Amino acid sequence: MNAAPRKTLSELLALYFSKSAPIQAQPIQNTQESLPPWYVLLLQTWGALVAAALILGFIEYQLWKGYAGMSRTPGVFFSLGIFSYAGCVVLYYAAKRVPLLNQFALIVSLVALYFATKGIVASFDYYHAHSLRYAALLVAGFELMAFFILRDKLRQFLAALVVVSIALPALLVWETLPYSINFLTLVYALLVFLAWHYYPALLKTKWAEQAPLKYALVFALLGAVSVVSFFGSPLVLRMDSIEPNEFHVWLSTAGIGLALIVSTYAILKRHQVATGPYLLLSVALIAAMGLLTWHTPGILTGLFVITLGFAHGSRVLVGFGIAYLVWFVFQYYYNINTSLLLKSIALMGTGTILLGTAWWLDKLRRRAGANDA
Amino acid sequence: MAEHDKSLDGPATEADLEQLLKQGLINRGDFARGAAFIGLHPNPSRWFAFLSVFLTSVATLFLIAGVVFFFAYNWASMPVWLKLVVTQAFFVLGLVFSWHKGIESLSSKLGLTFTAVLLGVIFAVYGQIYQTGADSYELFVTWAVLMLPFAWVARSAVLWLFWLLIVQVAVSLFMQQELGIGHWSIDPKHSLAVHIQIAILAGFLVVWEVLRACGTPWMQDQWPARVVFTLLLIQATLLISLTIVDLVVSGHRFLGVRLTSETDRVINIGLYLGLVLAAFVYYQYRARDLFVLSLTSFSLGVASIVWLLSWLFVVLVDRFKFDDPPIYVLLIAAGVILVESTLALFWLRQKQRAWAVIQ
């Protein structure tokens, strides 16, 4: 990615305020701490997950041994979960700035999440589909509470991810899955667009500092598209002897294509070129891509996430988008029902078209530069 | 320098803009203007540059995959001479394209990468036609040697990393086919294979970092060193984990099997500790890379978990009372991980803050 020249905070303030204005000191002293990089968050998650798994192993063993004669009672798990959540909330409020307690609270809350889910699921008939749906909704309620109360960014991200993804398991037990999951990808894609493009508007509301929600929505979208692609792939369909068109994967491709068009329009509008050839060209390209890749929605999703990430200066999103795109391009060519020779010709043809497009864009850029000069 | 001044001289971030907006000092329009000013929102010129790099890179990947598939198809009806002519024509085309674009351009570097990959394809096609009977490591060795001038001229990190990959494959195949030494097999003599792979990666990383420190312009990006370090640390962590399991579990009276020799264990521990120490010192005081420090902390965490769980296993086996195993060890392990991860996070956050202020 072509990096922009770094500007200092004083240069930024000079953009807004005259030198004589005395307000500069205030925002700087209160400037919030930047988020840790993704790999530090990953380290934190890994530690918490392993510790939570070990604690779960210990508790489950005790319950299995039947120390509490009520080990089969759902109430045990449910109470355990609820008490742990409550303890977690108290702990976060009591020790927001103590890293050890903060990490401990994260671990306990993960254990709590497990037991609350288990308790709710066990309280219904295990094999009855509705129980899972209610369990999912109740867990979503707990996590929503955690999202607003807890202050740890990672825990907020996990809570947001649980809340926004909960529709997926809820839908999985419905008979309408083949249709509804496509609708869900469209909803996620539009929510992702809104959350990223209108983020400054959220900052002025009580949703301030809820940046984890933006990332959670993106990951929920990637998850939903992965599920669509998995169930809609020819291999799985063949295995389960489901009718090939039952999942209507093209609906997801169309939904994400729509979100990509809206997103591109917003970006072009930012640069005052939302009308004319740029918009037409973008819409035509997205439509062509959609038509060519209708059975692999992951390709347009990858492009959508890359566009969004670059437009908002998020390298993490660009990275995930590229990884996602590469995986689905591979899947696209793997699933084409044709010979290796035709596949190779298709690959070389696509490569040549892309090279031509890059060359044409370069020409456009030079022309624009010459006009500016 | 006062704390206040340090903040002012530090790089402006999205968090600063958010803070200004939340305090009501700027409006949404100002936020967008500020985001463009600090480079958070790219301007049209950066969009064009990004799209150009993205499309050219993807196009190169497609072309490489297309050419490889084309010859993997082994088109029986294609005459031998045509196969050779087509591969070599692509090869020459790639060279001419790179020369035409000028060596400093991205297109030229990608063109040379394409040509370097084609070298391997040419050897594969040659082997396919004439069935030379040569071992496959010979193909990779020749490929690596002939690719060197391309990597040298291209001055591209991608091409050098690709070269490193080919070297690793060549060495691995050589050890398998000539010495009968496999990778990660449960056999003491196979430690040698891993030691050699680690030595190659470490050697490459040291040379890369030295040249980077000397100010070689095209080597200033952090990501190539990160990629090599990650590969290196994965191998070293697997090696130390195997050694720990071997030390704690395999020598136990119930099992009595050793996976590694005494000498290998000493080498493995020495290699791992040396690597971790070197990473902590160099990437903390010289190259300043939080990614490497995080990864190394992670590796230490993994090694300690392996040790704890191996120990737990030994304790369980030793007691041999499955009706009442010392399951509390799980809580001790969880506690150790809690403390370890917190200490690592605390330290990494401190480093992040300190380096942000210095920047």
CB contact under 8 A, A9 and B7: yes
> pTM, whole model, 2 decimals?
0.80
Query: How many whole angstroms separate alpha carbon A336 and alpha carbon A345?
Result: 13
* pLDDT per position as a tens digit, A39-90: 888 888 888 899 999 888 888 887 777 655 445 566 777 777 778 878 887 7
Count of CB contacts below 8 A, A vs B?
280
Query: How many whole angstroms separate alpha carbon B156 and alpha carbon B109?
Result: 6
- Write the ipTM: 0.78
Long-range contacts at A288-293 (CB < 8 A, ≥ 24 apart): A289/A257, A290/A253, A290/A254, A290/A257, A293/A253, A293/A332
Q: Which residues of B touch A347 (CB under 8 A)?
A: 62-63, 65-66, 69
**According to DSSP H, which parts of chain B are helical?**
3-9, 14-22, 28-37, 44-72, 80-101, 106-130, 136-154, 157-174, 191-213, 223-245, 262-281, 290-319, 329-358
Contact with chain A for residue B355, Cβ under 8 A: no
Q: Tell me the β-bridge partners of A94.
A: none
pLDDT band per the 50, 70, 90 thresholds, residue A363: confident
- Which one, of B61, B112, B104, B111, lies nearest residue A322 by Cα? B61
- Residue B179: C-alpha distances to residues A103, A300, B37, B237, B337 (Å): 49, 48, 60, 25, 41
* pLDDT per position as a tens digit, B278-315: 999 999 998 889 999 999 999 999 999 888 888 777 76
Closest CA–CA distance from residue B319 to any residue of chain A (Å): 18
In percent, how much of chain A has pLDDT > 70? Answer: 74
* pLDDT per position as a tens digit, A1-27: 445 556 777 777 777 775 544 444 444
Query: How many whole angstroms separate alpha carbon A1 and alpha carbon B50?
Result: 6
Q: Can you give the pLDDT at residue A74?
A: 67
Chain B residues 264-323 with a CB less than 8 Å from chain A: 290-291, 294-295, 297-298, 301, 305
From A334, which residue of chain B is nearest by alpha-carbon distance? B69
SS3 category, B11: strand
Residue A8 phi/psi, 5-degree rounding, is -85, 165
Closest CA–CA distance from residue B141 to any residue of chain A (Å): 27
From B336, which residue of chain A is nearest by alpha-carbon distance? A51
Q: Tell me the β-bridge partners of B82.
A: none
SS3 category, A8: strand
Q: Can you give the pLDDT at residue B323?
A: 59
Residue A285 belongs to what H/E stretch?
helix A277-292
The per-residue pLDDT of chain A, averaged, comes to 77
Residue among A201, A208, A351 minimizing CB distance to B59: A351
Residue among A333, A348, A354 minimizing CB distance to B67: A348
CB contact under 8 A, A201 and B40: no
**Whether pLDDT at B43 is above 70:** yes
What residues contact B81, with CB distance under 8 A and at least 6 apart? none
- Which one, of B306, B211, B348, lies nearest residue A103 by Cα? B348
What residues contact B58, with CB distance under 8 A and at least 6 apart? A351, A354
* pLDDT per position as a tens digit, B92-113: 988 898 888 887 888 888 889 8
**Whether pLDDT at B139 is above 80:** yes
What count of other Cβ atoms lies within 10 Å of the Cβ of residue A299?
Answer: 25
Tokens of B218: 């095209």
Q: Which residues of A touch B73 (CB under 8 A)?
A: 339-341, 344
Q: Can you give the pLDDT at residue A239?
A: 44
Q: Which residues of A touch B348 (CB under 8 A)?
A: 36, 40, 43
